[in-house]
Structure 1
């Protein structure tokens, strides 16, 4: 018999302890990722700053579910002007998710 697929368990982050430190880490990590993925662009700093602000604000409001945080970033980054960038809101939200998973030691490759 074939096994029924199981839902992917939620990843819940611990409550935020140091918003400034967490925000600065995410901003710096995302900025580095953006610069390394294609070419360094001036707009990358603004993208990283905005995504970090959204993430930290959501965390301060009590949202700790990584999936919900990613959706919030996608939704709010839709208002960002990506015309000077290779990226869009989905790439940014996915990068944030990958960076968070990496920081937690969780493999995000290949569905594992």
Structure 2
């Protein structure tokens, strides 16, 4: 298993907000670094299954994304798209008709940086 590495993404639909994800798979970490370097231009949006509890590395939100489920995508179905503030405000509904299976794929997610240390 790779050393846990954290990245930040933003969404234009949630101005000023940042969401921290933790990656634990070496190939996914490499993929994220290629996105930040501008080498990966297609599969650049974040997808994963949310867990309804705060993670120490993402304290501004009442949920986080299960690191073992995080992948990057080019296109996804609409039913998993939502902005991070909407997910936070409607977390009690997530996993039902809203974000079925707790899958979250914010279409406008954009990795902005890797957190060091």
TM-score, length basis structure 2: 0.28
Structure with a larger share of its residues in helix: 1
Identify, as 1 or 2, the structure richer in strand. Answer: 2
Larger of the two Rg values belongs to structure: 1
